Amino acid sequence: MTATRHLFPISIALATMALPAMPGYGQGLPAAMRAGKADYCVECHGRLKGRGGIAVSEWKKSVHAGQGENCNLCHGGNPDMADKNAAHDARLSFVGKAVKDGEVELCGRAGCHGPAMAVFRTSPHYGALKKSGKPGCVTCHGSHNIQKSRVAFIKAEDCTACHPAGDVEKVLKSMAEIEADIGAIEKNAAYLLDKNAESRDITEKLLDVKILYHSLVHVMSTREVQFTRKEIELLLRDLRAGAEMRVLIAKRLDLIYFVTIALSFLVVISFMVFTVRAFSRKKE
Ligand code: HEC
Ligand code: HEC
Ligand code: HEC
Ligand code: HEC
Protein backbone atom coordinates (compact mmCIF):
# COMPACT_ATOMS: atom_id res chain seq x y z
CA MET A 1 0.00 0.00 0.00
CA THR A 2 1.37 3.37 -0.86
CA ALA A 3 1.06 6.33 1.41
CA THR A 4 -0.68 8.28 -1.29
CA ARG A 5 -3.31 5.60 -1.54
CA HIS A 6 -3.87 6.18 2.16
CA LEU A 7 -3.86 9.92 1.71
CA PHE A 8 -6.52 9.84 -0.93
CA PRO A 9 -9.36 8.25 1.08
CA ILE A 10 -8.34 10.47 3.99
CA SER A 11 -8.58 13.62 1.93
CA ILE A 12 -11.91 12.48 0.53
CA ALA A 13 -13.13 11.73 4.05
CA LEU A 14 -11.92 15.15 5.22
CA ALA A 15 -13.56 16.75 2.23
CA THR A 16 -16.87 15.07 3.01
CA MET A 17 -16.63 16.16 6.63
CA ALA A 18 -15.52 19.71 5.89
CA LEU A 19 -17.72 20.52 2.92
CA PRO A 20 -21.03 20.93 4.76
CA ALA A 21 -19.33 23.40 7.09
CA MET A 22 -18.05 25.55 4.25
CA PRO A 23 -20.37 28.19 2.92
CA GLY A 24 -20.85 27.85 -0.77
CA TYR A 25 -18.87 24.80 -1.74
CA GLY A 26 -20.12 21.28 -2.34
CA GLN A 27 -23.71 22.03 -1.49
CA GLY A 28 -24.68 19.06 -3.65
CA LEU A 29 -25.47 16.04 -1.55
CA PRO A 30 -22.61 13.67 -0.69
CA ALA A 31 -22.36 10.70 -3.06
CA ALA A 32 -23.81 8.21 -0.58
CA MET A 33 -26.93 10.33 -0.08
CA ARG A 34 -27.25 10.87 -3.79
CA ALA A 35 -27.28 7.15 -4.57
CA GLY A 36 -30.02 6.33 -7.04
CA LYS A 37 -30.67 9.99 -7.86
CA ALA A 38 -30.08 11.34 -11.33
CA ASP A 39 -27.09 13.64 -11.68
CA TYR A 40 -28.13 16.16 -14.28
CA CYS A 41 -24.62 17.61 -14.70
CA VAL A 42 -23.42 14.22 -15.93
CA GLU A 43 -26.60 13.54 -17.92
CA CYS A 44 -26.78 16.82 -19.80
CA HIS A 45 -23.03 17.23 -20.34
CA GLY A 46 -22.82 13.61 -21.49
CA ARG A 47 -24.96 14.62 -24.46
CA LEU A 48 -22.89 17.72 -25.30
CA LYS A 49 -20.34 17.87 -28.11
CA GLY A 50 -16.87 19.38 -27.56
CA ARG A 51 -15.19 20.12 -24.26
CA GLY A 52 -18.44 20.12 -22.26
CA GLY A 53 -18.94 16.46 -23.23
CA ILE A 54 -15.28 15.46 -23.13
CA ALA A 55 -15.25 16.55 -19.48
CA VAL A 56 -17.69 13.70 -18.74
CA SER A 57 -15.84 10.94 -20.61
CA GLU A 58 -12.54 12.05 -19.03
CA TRP A 59 -13.99 12.40 -15.53
CA LYS A 60 -15.49 8.88 -15.76
CA LYS A 61 -11.97 7.37 -15.85
CA SER A 62 -10.70 9.48 -12.93
CA VAL A 63 -9.98 8.65 -9.31
CA HIS A 64 -12.66 11.18 -8.37
CA ALA A 65 -15.37 9.28 -10.25
CA GLY A 66 -14.02 6.06 -8.69
CA GLN A 67 -14.68 7.61 -5.28
CA GLY A 68 -18.22 8.58 -6.27
CA GLU A 69 -17.37 12.28 -6.56
CA ASN A 70 -19.13 14.13 -9.34
CA CYS A 71 -18.85 17.45 -11.19
CA ASN A 72 -20.21 19.51 -8.30
CA LEU A 73 -17.31 18.44 -6.06
CA CYS A 74 -15.16 20.94 -7.98
CA HIS A 75 -17.63 23.13 -9.89
CA GLY A 76 -20.39 23.51 -7.31
CA GLY A 77 -23.86 24.11 -8.74
CA ASN A 78 -26.96 21.99 -8.29
CA PRO A 79 -26.87 18.50 -9.86
CA ASP A 80 -30.55 17.92 -9.00
CA MET A 81 -31.70 20.49 -11.56
CA ALA A 82 -32.35 19.36 -15.12
CA ASP A 83 -32.39 22.95 -16.40
CA LYS A 84 -29.03 24.42 -17.30
CA ASN A 85 -29.41 27.78 -15.62
CA ALA A 86 -30.89 26.25 -12.47
CA ALA A 87 -28.04 23.72 -12.38
CA HIS A 88 -25.40 26.41 -12.91
CA ASP A 89 -26.64 28.07 -9.72
CA ALA A 90 -24.36 30.90 -8.59
CA ARG A 91 -25.89 30.76 -5.10
CA LEU A 92 -24.46 27.24 -4.82
CA SER A 93 -21.06 28.60 -5.81
CA PHE A 94 -21.14 27.38 -9.38
CA VAL A 95 -17.64 27.83 -10.80
CA GLY A 96 -17.40 27.63 -14.58
CA LYS A 97 -14.01 27.75 -16.20
CA ALA A 98 -11.26 28.45 -13.74
CA VAL A 99 -9.68 31.86 -14.25
CA LYS A 100 -5.90 32.28 -14.00
CA ASP A 101 -4.93 30.87 -10.62
CA GLY A 102 -8.58 29.99 -9.97
CA GLU A 103 -7.85 26.35 -10.70
CA VAL A 104 -5.59 26.30 -7.64
CA GLU A 105 -8.48 27.56 -5.57
CA LEU A 106 -10.60 24.79 -7.12
CA CYS A 107 -8.17 21.99 -6.21
CA GLY A 108 -6.43 23.43 -3.19
CA ARG A 109 -9.24 24.73 -1.04
CA ALA A 110 -9.60 23.58 2.55
CA GLY A 111 -11.26 20.17 2.78
CA CYS A 112 -9.87 19.06 -0.60
CA HIS A 113 -6.16 19.38 -1.33
CA GLY A 114 -5.39 22.06 1.26
CA PRO A 115 -2.14 20.39 2.37
CA ALA A 116 -0.76 20.16 -1.21
CA MET A 117 -1.86 23.75 -1.73
CA ALA A 118 -0.02 24.91 1.42
CA VAL A 119 3.18 23.38 0.02
CA PHE A 120 2.58 24.82 -3.45
CA ARG A 121 2.03 28.32 -2.04
CA THR A 122 5.73 28.39 -1.02
CA SER A 123 6.83 27.56 -4.57
CA PRO A 124 8.28 30.07 -7.04
CA HIS A 125 5.74 28.48 -9.40
CA TYR A 126 2.91 29.96 -7.36
CA GLY A 127 4.20 33.42 -8.23
CA ALA A 128 4.62 32.45 -11.89
CA LEU A 129 1.06 31.07 -11.92
CA LYS A 130 -0.37 34.31 -10.59
CA LYS A 131 1.40 36.26 -13.33
CA SER A 132 1.00 33.97 -16.34
CA GLY A 133 -1.64 31.35 -15.43
CA LYS A 134 0.98 28.55 -15.46
CA PRO A 135 2.19 26.17 -14.07
CA GLY A 136 -0.70 25.20 -11.78
CA CYS A 137 -2.18 21.95 -10.51
CA VAL A 138 -3.89 21.36 -13.87
CA THR A 139 -0.59 21.77 -15.77
CA CYS A 140 0.76 18.60 -14.17
CA HIS A 141 -2.34 16.71 -13.01
CA GLY A 142 -4.85 17.60 -15.74
CA SER A 143 -8.38 18.69 -14.91
CA HIS A 144 -10.79 15.78 -15.46
CA ASN A 145 -8.98 12.49 -16.01
CA ILE A 146 -7.05 12.71 -12.75
CA GLN A 147 -5.05 9.60 -11.92
CA LYS A 148 -2.63 8.55 -9.24
CA SER A 149 0.19 10.99 -9.82
CA ARG A 150 3.48 10.13 -11.45
CA VAL A 151 6.14 12.38 -12.89
CA ALA A 152 5.54 10.71 -16.27
CA PHE A 153 2.33 12.78 -16.47
CA ILE A 154 4.33 15.98 -16.77
CA LYS A 155 4.76 17.07 -20.36
CA ALA A 156 8.13 18.77 -20.89
CA GLU A 157 6.56 21.27 -23.30
CA ASP A 158 4.56 22.69 -20.37
CA CYS A 159 7.86 23.65 -18.75
CA THR A 160 10.06 24.73 -21.66
CA ALA A 161 8.16 27.99 -22.09
CA CYS A 162 10.08 29.22 -19.03
CA HIS A 163 13.06 26.83 -18.66
CA PRO A 164 15.78 25.54 -21.02
CA ALA A 165 14.80 22.11 -22.40
CA GLY A 166 18.02 20.49 -21.12
CA ASP A 167 17.31 21.58 -17.52
CA VAL A 168 13.73 20.32 -17.68
CA GLU A 169 14.85 16.98 -19.07
CA LYS A 170 17.42 16.62 -16.26
CA VAL A 171 14.93 17.42 -13.50
CA LEU A 172 12.23 15.12 -14.88
CA LYS A 173 14.73 12.31 -15.35
CA SER A 174 16.01 12.53 -11.79
CA MET A 175 12.42 12.60 -10.48
CA ALA A 176 11.60 9.51 -12.53
CA GLU A 177 14.60 7.75 -10.97
CA ILE A 178 13.38 8.66 -7.48
CA GLU A 179 9.94 7.24 -8.32
CA ALA A 180 11.48 4.05 -9.71
CA ASP A 181 13.47 3.60 -6.47
CA ILE A 182 10.38 4.21 -4.35
CA GLY A 183 8.52 1.64 -6.45
CA ALA A 184 11.29 -0.96 -6.08
CA ILE A 185 11.40 -0.50 -2.30
CA GLU A 186 7.61 -0.75 -2.07
CA LYS A 187 7.72 -4.00 -4.01
CA ASN A 188 10.34 -5.44 -1.66
CA ALA A 189 8.42 -4.26 1.41
CA ALA A 190 5.29 -5.98 0.06
CA TYR A 191 7.28 -9.18 -0.46
CA LEU A 192 8.58 -9.04 3.11
CA LEU A 193 5.10 -8.38 4.47
CA ASP A 194 3.83 -11.38 2.53
CA LYS A 195 6.56 -13.53 4.11
CA ASN A 196 5.74 -12.18 7.58
CA ALA A 197 9.23 -10.69 7.75
CA GLU A 198 9.89 -7.33 9.44
CA SER A 199 9.06 -4.51 7.01
CA ARG A 200 7.45 -1.83 9.15
CA ASP A 201 10.59 0.23 9.65
CA ILE A 202 11.12 0.27 5.87
CA THR A 203 7.56 1.43 5.21
CA GLU A 204 7.87 4.13 7.86
CA LYS A 205 11.16 5.49 6.52
CA LEU A 206 9.76 5.33 3.00
CA LEU A 207 6.87 7.53 4.10
CA ASP A 208 9.39 10.17 5.25
CA VAL A 209 10.99 10.02 1.81
CA LYS A 210 7.64 10.36 0.09
CA ILE A 211 6.82 13.45 2.13
CA LEU A 212 10.16 14.99 1.08
CA TYR A 213 9.51 14.04 -2.54
CA HIS A 214 6.02 15.53 -2.39
CA SER A 215 7.56 18.79 -1.22
CA LEU A 216 10.30 18.64 -3.87
CA VAL A 217 7.72 18.22 -6.63
CA HIS A 218 5.35 20.90 -5.41
CA VAL A 219 7.91 23.53 -4.37
CA MET A 220 10.63 22.99 -7.00
CA SER A 221 12.75 25.88 -5.83
CA THR A 222 16.46 25.82 -6.58
CA ARG A 223 17.01 24.91 -2.93
CA GLU A 224 14.63 21.95 -3.08
CA VAL A 225 16.05 20.72 -6.33
CA GLN A 226 19.63 20.91 -5.04
CA PHE A 227 19.38 19.90 -1.37
CA THR A 228 16.13 18.00 -0.84
CA ARG A 229 16.79 15.95 -3.95
CA LYS A 230 20.26 14.94 -2.65
CA GLU A 231 18.77 14.08 0.74
CA ILE A 232 16.09 11.93 -0.90
CA GLU A 233 18.65 10.15 -3.05
CA LEU A 234 20.86 9.33 -0.04
CA LEU A 235 17.92 8.07 2.04
CA LEU A 236 16.69 5.97 -0.88
CA ARG A 237 20.12 4.41 -1.45
CA ASP A 238 20.26 3.17 2.16
CA LEU A 239 16.66 2.04 2.20
CA ARG A 240 17.00 0.22 -1.08
CA ALA A 241 20.12 -1.65 -0.01
CA GLY A 242 18.54 -2.56 3.36
CA ALA A 243 15.34 -3.84 1.78
CA GLU A 244 17.19 -5.82 -0.90
CA MET A 245 19.37 -7.48 1.76
CA ARG A 246 16.31 -8.50 3.76
CA VAL A 247 14.58 -9.89 0.70
CA LEU A 248 17.71 -11.88 -0.11
CA ILE A 249 17.71 -13.37 3.40
CA ALA A 250 13.99 -14.14 3.17
CA LYS A 251 14.54 -15.82 -0.21
CA ARG A 252 17.43 -17.86 1.23
CA LEU A 253 15.26 -18.96 4.13
CA ASP A 254 12.68 -19.99 1.55
CA LEU A 255 15.31 -22.05 -0.26
CA ILE A 256 16.48 -23.73 2.95
CA TYR A 257 12.87 -24.50 3.81
CA PHE A 258 12.25 -25.94 0.35
CA VAL A 259 15.42 -28.09 0.42
CA THR A 260 14.55 -29.41 3.89
CA ILE A 261 11.06 -30.40 2.77
CA ALA A 262 12.43 -32.03 -0.40
CA LEU A 263 15.03 -33.97 1.61
CA SER A 264 12.42 -35.13 4.13
CA PHE A 265 10.27 -36.39 1.27
CA LEU A 266 13.23 -38.24 -0.21
CA VAL A 267 13.95 -39.93 3.12
CA VAL A 268 10.31 -41.00 3.57
CA ILE A 269 10.08 -42.33 0.00
CA SER A 270 13.39 -44.25 0.26
CA PHE A 271 12.21 -45.75 3.51
CA MET A 272 8.93 -46.84 1.92
CA VAL A 273 10.70 -48.39 -1.09
CA PHE A 274 13.06 -50.15 1.26
CA THR A 275 10.23 -51.63 3.39
CA VAL A 276 8.20 -52.73 0.37
CA ARG A 277 11.24 -54.46 -1.07
CA ALA A 278 12.15 -56.12 2.20
CA PHE A 279 8.56 -57.25 2.58
CA SER A 280 8.34 -58.78 -0.94
CA ARG A 281 11.69 -60.53 -0.47
CA LYS A 282 10.41 -62.09 2.73
CA LYS A 283 7.29 -63.33 0.83
CA GLU A 284 9.48 -65.02 -1.80
C1 HEC B 1 -29.37 20.96 -19.31
C2 HEC B 1 -27.98 20.93 -19.59
C3 HEC B 1 -26.94 21.24 -18.53
C4 HEC B 1 -26.93 20.90 -17.21
C5 HEC B 1 -28.00 20.18 -16.40
C6 HEC B 1 -25.65 21.35 -16.69
N7 HEC B 1 -24.93 21.97 -17.69
FE8 HEC B 1 -23.06 22.77 -17.51
N9 HEC B 1 -23.17 23.53 -19.41
C10 HEC B 1 -24.19 23.24 -20.29
C11 HEC B 1 -23.89 23.90 -21.56
C12 HEC B 1 -24.78 23.86 -22.81
C13 HEC B 1 -22.65 24.56 -21.38
C14 HEC B 1 -21.91 25.39 -22.47
C15 HEC B 1 -21.70 26.81 -22.10
C16 HEC B 1 -22.97 27.54 -21.77
O17 HEC B 1 -23.86 27.59 -22.60
O18 HEC B 1 -23.06 28.07 -20.63
C19 HEC B 1 -22.25 24.31 -20.01
C20 HEC B 1 -21.08 24.80 -19.45
C21 HEC B 1 -20.55 24.31 -18.25
C22 HEC B 1 -19.24 24.63 -17.75
C23 HEC B 1 -18.23 25.53 -18.41
C24 HEC B 1 -18.55 26.94 -18.13
C25 HEC B 1 -17.54 27.88 -18.75
O26 HEC B 1 -17.41 28.97 -18.18
O27 HEC B 1 -16.96 27.56 -19.77
C28 HEC B 1 -19.09 23.96 -16.57
C29 HEC B 1 -17.87 23.95 -15.66
C30 HEC B 1 -20.32 23.25 -16.32
N31 HEC B 1 -21.19 23.49 -17.35
C32 HEC B 1 -20.55 22.46 -15.22
C33 HEC B 1 -21.80 21.96 -14.88
C34 HEC B 1 -22.13 21.37 -13.60
C35 HEC B 1 -21.15 21.20 -12.44
C36 HEC B 1 -23.44 21.01 -13.63
C37 HEC B 1 -24.29 20.42 -12.53
C38 HEC B 1 -24.29 21.10 -11.27
C39 HEC B 1 -23.94 21.36 -14.96
N40 HEC B 1 -22.91 21.94 -15.68
C41 HEC B 1 -25.22 21.14 -15.39
C42 HEC B 1 -25.30 22.46 -20.05
C43 HEC B 1 -25.67 21.93 -18.81
C1 HEC C 1 -11.45 17.32 -9.83
C2 HEC C 1 -12.16 18.53 -10.09
C3 HEC C 1 -13.11 18.54 -11.25
C4 HEC C 1 -14.18 17.71 -11.48
C5 HEC C 1 -14.66 16.53 -10.64
C6 HEC C 1 -14.81 18.18 -12.68
N7 HEC C 1 -14.12 19.26 -13.18
FE8 HEC C 1 -14.59 20.35 -14.84
N9 HEC C 1 -12.91 21.48 -14.61
C10 HEC C 1 -12.04 21.38 -13.55
C11 HEC C 1 -10.97 22.34 -13.74
C12 HEC C 1 -9.79 22.55 -12.79
C13 HEC C 1 -11.22 23.01 -14.95
C14 HEC C 1 -10.40 24.11 -15.61
C15 HEC C 1 -9.45 23.50 -16.61
C16 HEC C 1 -8.43 24.46 -17.14
O17 HEC C 1 -8.40 25.61 -16.72
O18 HEC C 1 -7.66 24.01 -17.99
C19 HEC C 1 -12.48 22.46 -15.46
C20 HEC C 1 -13.08 22.86 -16.64
C21 HEC C 1 -14.33 22.41 -17.08
C22 HEC C 1 -15.01 22.89 -18.27
C23 HEC C 1 -14.53 23.97 -19.21
C24 HEC C 1 -13.90 23.36 -20.45
C25 HEC C 1 -12.58 22.72 -20.15
O26 HEC C 1 -12.46 21.50 -20.35
O27 HEC C 1 -11.66 23.42 -19.69
C28 HEC C 1 -16.19 22.18 -18.35
C29 HEC C 1 -17.27 22.29 -19.44
C30 HEC C 1 -16.25 21.26 -17.25
N31 HEC C 1 -15.10 21.43 -16.50
C32 HEC C 1 -17.28 20.39 -16.99
C33 HEC C 1 -17.24 19.40 -16.02
C34 HEC C 1 -18.26 18.36 -15.89
C35 HEC C 1 -19.49 18.21 -16.74
C36 HEC C 1 -17.85 17.56 -14.86
C37 HEC C 1 -18.50 16.26 -14.35
C38 HEC C 1 -18.62 15.20 -15.33
C39 HEC C 1 -16.62 18.11 -14.33
N40 HEC C 1 -16.28 19.20 -15.07
C41 HEC C 1 -15.93 17.59 -13.25
C42 HEC C 1 -12.14 20.54 -12.47
C43 HEC C 1 -13.08 19.52 -12.33
C1 HEC D 1 5.38 30.49 -16.39
C2 HEC D 1 6.75 30.12 -16.20
C3 HEC D 1 7.08 28.74 -15.63
C4 HEC D 1 6.64 27.51 -16.05
C5 HEC D 1 5.61 27.18 -17.14
C6 HEC D 1 7.37 26.53 -15.28
N7 HEC D 1 8.22 27.17 -14.41
FE8 HEC D 1 9.62 26.29 -13.21
N9 HEC D 1 10.11 28.10 -12.44
C10 HEC D 1 9.58 29.31 -12.83
C11 HEC D 1 10.13 30.37 -11.99
C12 HEC D 1 9.79 31.86 -12.11
C13 HEC D 1 11.02 29.74 -11.09
C14 HEC D 1 11.82 30.43 -9.98
C15 HEC D 1 12.99 31.18 -10.55
C16 HEC D 1 14.13 30.29 -10.87
O17 HEC D 1 14.76 29.81 -9.94
O18 HEC D 1 14.43 30.06 -12.06
C19 HEC D 1 11.00 28.31 -11.40
C20 HEC D 1 11.79 27.36 -10.80
C21 HEC D 1 11.88 26.03 -11.18
C22 HEC D 1 12.85 25.09 -10.72
C23 HEC D 1 13.95 25.38 -9.72
C24 HEC D 1 14.96 26.30 -10.29
C25 HEC D 1 16.16 25.61 -10.78
O26 HEC D 1 16.37 25.60 -12.03
O27 HEC D 1 16.94 25.11 -9.98
C28 HEC D 1 12.61 23.89 -11.35
C29 HEC D 1 13.38 22.59 -11.20
C30 HEC D 1 11.46 24.09 -12.21
N31 HEC D 1 11.04 25.41 -12.09
C32 HEC D 1 10.87 23.10 -12.97
C33 HEC D 1 9.73 23.27 -13.74
C34 HEC D 1 9.01 22.20 -14.39
C35 HEC D 1 9.35 20.73 -14.30
C36 HEC D 1 7.98 22.79 -15.07
C37 HEC D 1 6.92 22.09 -15.90
C38 HEC D 1 5.90 21.38 -15.18
C39 HEC D 1 8.06 24.22 -14.85
N40 HEC D 1 9.12 24.47 -14.03
C41 HEC D 1 7.22 25.15 -15.42
C42 HEC D 1 8.69 29.51 -13.85
C43 HEC D 1 8.06 28.51 -14.57
C1 HEC E 1 5.19 20.36 -11.37
C2 HEC E 1 4.09 19.45 -11.45
C3 HEC E 1 3.05 19.48 -10.37
C4 HEC E 1 2.29 20.55 -9.96
C5 HEC E 1 2.35 21.99 -10.45
C6 HEC E 1 1.39 20.06 -8.95
N7 HEC E 1 1.59 18.71 -8.75
FE8 HEC E 1 0.66 17.53 -7.39
N9 HEC E 1 1.91 15.97 -7.86
C10 HEC E 1 2.84 15.97 -8.86
C11 HEC E 1 3.56 14.70 -8.86
C12 HEC E 1 4.67 14.29 -9.81
C13 HEC E 1 3.01 13.94 -7.80
C14 HEC E 1 3.43 12.53 -7.35
C15 HEC E 1 4.46 12.60 -6.28
C16 HEC E 1 3.88 12.98 -4.95
O17 HEC E 1 3.04 12.24 -4.43
O18 HEC E 1 4.28 14.02 -4.42
C19 HEC E 1 1.96 14.76 -7.20
C20 HEC E 1 1.15 14.37 -6.14
C21 HEC E 1 0.06 15.08 -5.68
C22 HEC E 1 -0.89 14.60 -4.70
C23 HEC E 1 -0.81 13.25 -4.01
C24 HEC E 1 -1.93 12.33 -4.45
C25 HEC E 1 -1.58 11.48 -5.64
O26 HEC E 1 -2.13 11.72 -6.72
O27 HEC E 1 -0.79 10.54 -5.53
C28 HEC E 1 -1.83 15.57 -4.51
C29 HEC E 1 -3.05 15.54 -3.62
C30 HEC E 1 -1.46 16.69 -5.37
N31 HEC E 1 -0.31 16.36 -6.06
C32 HEC E 1 -2.17 17.88 -5.47
C33 HEC E 1 -1.73 18.99 -6.16
C34 HEC E 1 -2.37 20.30 -6.10
C35 HEC E 1 -3.63 20.62 -5.32
C36 HEC E 1 -1.64 21.12 -6.89
C37 HEC E 1 -1.87 22.60 -7.10
C38 HEC E 1 -1.90 23.43 -5.92
C39 HEC E 1 -0.53 20.35 -7.44
N40 HEC E 1 -0.62 19.06 -6.98
C41 HEC E 1 0.43 20.83 -8.31
C42 HEC E 1 3.10 17.01 -9.73
C43 HEC E 1 2.60 18.31 -9.60
pLDDT tens profile 219-266: 999 999 999 999 999 999 999 999 999 999 999 998 999 999 999 999
Model confidence at 34, pLDDT cuts 50, 70, 90, reads low
End residue of a domain, out of 149, 168, 187: 149
User: Does the beta carbon of 186 sit less than 6 angstroms from any atom of ligand 2?
Assistant: no
**2 shares its domain with 131:** yes
**54 shares its domain with 89:** yes
Of 144, 110, 129, which Cα lies nearest the Cα of 17?
110
Whether 41 contacts 71, CB under 8 Å: yes
Using CA atoms, how far residue 136 sits from 68, 79, 100, 125, 233, in Å, is 25, 27, 9, 8, 26
The residue whose CA has the least distance to atom 31 of ligand 3 is 220
Per-residue pLDDT, 19: 38
Whether 148 contacts 63, CB under 8 Å: yes
Q: Give the mean pLDDT of 104-128.
A: 90
What is the tens place of the pLDDT at every residue in 126-160?
999 988 888 999 999 999 999 999 999 999 999 99
Q: What does pTM read for this prediction?
A: 0.84
Structural domain containing residue 134: 1-149
End residue of a domain, out of 120, 149, 178: 149
**56 shares its domain with 95:** yes
Ligand 1 binding residues, C-beta < 6 A:
40-41, 44-45, 48, 52, 71-72, 75, 77-79, 82, 84, 87-88, 96-97
Using CA atoms, how far residue 162 sits from 153, 166, 168, in Å, is 18, 12, 10
The residue whose CA has the least distance to atom 15 of ligand 3 is 124
Number of domains into which the chain is organized: 2
Model confidence at 16, pLDDT cuts 50, 70, 90, reads very low
The residue whose CA has the least distance to atom 39 of ligand 3 is 159
End residue of a domain, out of 116, 149, 182: 149
User: Does the beta carbon of 75 sit less than 6 angstroms from any atom of ligand 2?
Assistant: yes
The residue whose CA has the least distance to atom 3 of ligand 3 is 162
**128 shares its domain with 258:** no
Is the model's pLDDT at 83 over the cut of 50?
yes
